Amino acid sequence: MSDPALGQFAYLRLAIQSGKDARKHKTDNNVSKKRIRGERRSRTAEGPGPSGTQSSRRGRGAARARRPFAKRPVLRFVVLFVVFLGAFQLIMIIPFVKDTVFPKYLRVNAQVSGAIIGIFETGVHVNGNAISSPHASLSIARGCDAVEPSALFVAGVLAFPAALVSKIPGMLLGTVCLMVLNLARIVSLFYVRKHIPSVFEVMHIDVWQTLFVLLAILFWILWAMRAVRSVGPIPDATPSTG
């Protein structure tokens, strides 16, 4: 056999051997990949290790802790509402608030109401939290201040599941409206005392105090409807399982 023929034969034999080596290497790689995937499936079927089990338990515990509020929004609202009302009562018994801030607030109500009555009456005087004239007199005490209806409204807003940016304007607007309406209550009670004193207690306790509670609830309902429309339906906070 000539040299060129021998060279071609050697080249062909080398090419065949290289192809066999490449196929063998590819087969080995495929076998290794299948082995790795099989081991991963086995570990998954056996479950997580100790650290994974602890993390899973912590996650389930946190989910259970959130579940009563997540599945019961009414319960969440009631609990938060009671908490905020309780906080308000605690604030009101602080000596500085009880003895300094609140009396000043009553005097401001008396001064503003007396100024409004003075537009229509002559001889109106304001002394502390008392409004007097030659025809009638009225003392403004706790219960005639719109503080508790305002606290009722604010507690409802804070307990409602909505963004804080929508709560702040609502609380401010609702509280201001209740304060302004309280001035109208004081003025009206002054004229009831002047013209129909026999029904003063009924108007003061049965009518106005009940009306203010209803107004606080009405303002909260209006705000809640607007908050729901602006943010859309509240998503379910229950964690998904799979």
pTM metric for this prediction: 0.66
Are 134 and 123 in contact, with CB atoms under 8 Å apart? yes
Task: Compute the average pLDDT of residues 145-152.
Answer: 93
- Give 177: exposed, middle or buried? Use CB within 10 Å, 0-12, 13-18, 19+: middle
Q: Is the pLDDT of residue 219 over 60?
A: yes
Rounded to whole angstroms, what are the CA distances from 94 to 38, 64, 99, 140, 149? 69, 37, 8, 21, 19
* Sheet strand arrangement including 125-127: 125-127, 130-132, 137-139
Higher pLDDT, 180 or 50: 180
Going by the DSSP 8-state scheme, the letter that residue 99 receives in this structure is I
pLDDT computed for residue 227 by the predictor: 87
Range among 48-52, 69-73, 125-129, 231-235 with highest mean pLDDT value: 125-129
Cα angle 240-241-242, degrees, rounded to a multiple of 5? 125
4-40 pLDDT, tens digit each: 444 444 544 544 455 555 555 555 556 566 666 666 6
